[in-house]
Amino acid sequence: MSRFFSVISVTDAVKVAEKIAPLPGKETVPVEISAGRVLASDISADTDVPGFDRSVVDGYAVRSADTAGAGNSAPALIRCAGRVAMGKHDATLAVGNAGCAYIPTGGILPPGADAAVMIEYTEVAGDTVLLKKAASYGENIIRKDEDFQAGETVFLAGRRLSPQDTGVLAACGCMDVPVAKKPVVAIISTGNELVPGGVVPGPGQVRDANGPMLSSWLREYGCEPRLYGIVKDEREAFEAVIARAVSECDVVLLSGGSSKDDRDMTARVIADKGTVLVHGIALAPGKPTIIGTIDSKPVFGLPGHPASAFVVLIAIVRPLLDRMLGQTDPLINTVQATLSENIPSQRGREEYVRVKLRDGVATPLFGKSGLLNTLVRSHGLIRIPAGFEGLEKGSTVDVILW
């Protein structure tokens, strides 16, 4: 295994990752817990919404022509024909021929009515209503199919559902929502120096930060993470855990030991049991990344430093997950900010720099990539594309928020 592996571009690495993505699975979930999931089919309304002409105010349903010219000094005097009850259709109630009807917000517009006058502009005198304002045709009402028409496509497959979307799904009669299955992702931490967080590290040992970090990020992104613990540099044990993870999960992430020996062992095992497709990406941090397959399942060897592992997760693993979820827009929050200083970069590799954000200004944090503290003291990442020699102070940058 050569140390000076051949390095490919981020664009090509993403193509490889997308190509090995398993086809999205599909399941249905109740609408109440569908937010955050990705729609697996287009959704159309099963009826007109709202389904009937409705008032949007509390007031009087009228034929607009009957109110022409009405005002404070010359109200229209109209006989009250009755009251509209919420949620009920009263076939005997009709408006027009100088009749009107009390109507609550959301009430069904009685036959003959084409507008509503707000109660604030009315006064009742016996069975007559004084309307002190003219209503124009269609004023203060919603038409029966104004929100959605029966059969109209409301959402396209690939949409990540928001809380509001779930309300619209319910309104359109979609209570069992077809969504992409959550990709099941194995996380195996490797490295002789690693101990679990619950153990006090001895000399030369460090606690495994990548396991919890990767697992939390994957859960937030809509996956089902499975932690397989820490595996030391013993070939047999390592192979056994990988075999189990490959058989139980859709994707395997090996969160590498930081040393060359660990990375080499990871590459050797993938090569023996499957195929190494990529070994080295023109990405900083994140260069010593491995992409391969075992039994047609994607297997990634991520760098050991948490900051580097995180960048590879965002830049390389995420597009594969998007493909598995059938997601059309990546779930990444970016904000624009102004760069506080020049950032030099090496042309030919894509670079991610951690930044602090304050009042729309992004200040780079040039910490060593082995440090954890810059991960939590920064607010996000900016990306310098491979064709750039850096970014200039004062330029507008997109910050990928953590």
Q: Which residues, 167 to 206, sit near its own copies by CB under 8 A?
A: 167-171, 173-175, 191-194, 196-198, 200-206
Tell me the Ramachandran region of residue 14: left when phi exceeds 0, alpha when psi lies from -120 to 50, beta otherwise.
alpha
Taking CB under 8 A as the rule, does residue 112 contact its own copies? no
Closest CB to its own copies among residues 83, 243: 83
**Contact residues for 227 (Cβ-Cβ < 8 A; gap 6+):** 187, 211, 215
Closest CB to its own copies among residues 199, 240: 199
Q: Which residues, 290 to 329, sit near its own copies by CB under 8 A?
A: 304, 306, 310
Count of C-beta atoms within a 10 Å radius of residue 366? 10
Distance CA 357, CA 396 (A): 13
Span interacting with its own copies, options 8-16, 145-153, 239-247, 339-347, rule CB under 8 A: 145-153
| 3-state class (DSSP) for residue 116 | strand
**Smallest separation (angstroms) from its own copies to the CB of 270:** 20
Taking CB under 8 A as the rule, does residue 92 contact its own copies? no
Span interacting with its own copies, options 21-29, 155-163, 340-348, 387-395, rule CB under 8 A: 155-163
Taking CB under 8 A as the rule, does residue 336 contact its own copies? yes
* Polymer length in residues for the chain: 402
CA distances (Å), origin 65, targets 59, 98, 123, 135, 281: 17, 9, 19, 8, 72
Q: Is the peptide bond before 225 cis (omega within 30 degrees of 0)?
A: no
Bridge partners of 14, per DSSP, are none
Six token digits for residue 174 = 């979609």
**Smallest separation (angstroms) from its own copies to the CB of 230:** 11
Closest CB to its own copies among residues 22, 50: 50
Distance CA 357, CA 40 (A): 36
Binding mask 224-263 for its own copies (x = CB under 8 A): ---x-----x-----------------------xxxxxx-
Contacting residue, 60, 81, 95, 165, with its own copies by CB under 8 A: 165
